[in-house]
Amino acid sequence: MRTLFGAGWRMILFLVVIAALVVSPLFLVYRSKCLENGKRVDSWSFVAPWDDPPPDCRHHQNGFEVLKDELGL
């Protein structure tokens, strides 16, 4: 019984780590839309959640906002 309980906790920890890896781009990746030489250019960057996105362009979206736009929500 004790080994089963320990294996259960390890499985839960494994699933939490996998879920964090899958969800992290939604909060750590920013897309900036820039206008360079008359063309719209998308710039992607990694930003920590407590930092501001890079100031290079005007329109910034985090990964969650990009996903919402792509799904039409």
C-alpha pair distances (Å), 54 with each of 5, 48, 60, 62, 63 = 46, 11, 8, 12, 14
Low-confidence spans in the chain with pLDDT less than 70: 1-5, 49, 52-56
Question: Would you state the pLDDT for residue 60?
Answer: 73
Question: Would you state the pLDDT for residue 18?
Answer: 95
Nearest Cα to 54, choosing from 65, 46, 63, 64?
A: 46
What range defines the domain where residue 36 resides?
2-71
Tens digits of residue pLDDT in 1-11: 556 567 788 88
Tokens standing for residue 18: 């996998």
Question: Would you state the pLDDT for residue 4?
Answer: 59
Please count the structural domains in the chain: 1
The widest CA-to-CA distance across the chain, in whole angstroms, is: 67
| C-beta of residue 63 within 8 angstroms of C-beta of residue 27 | yes
First to last CA, the chain: 47
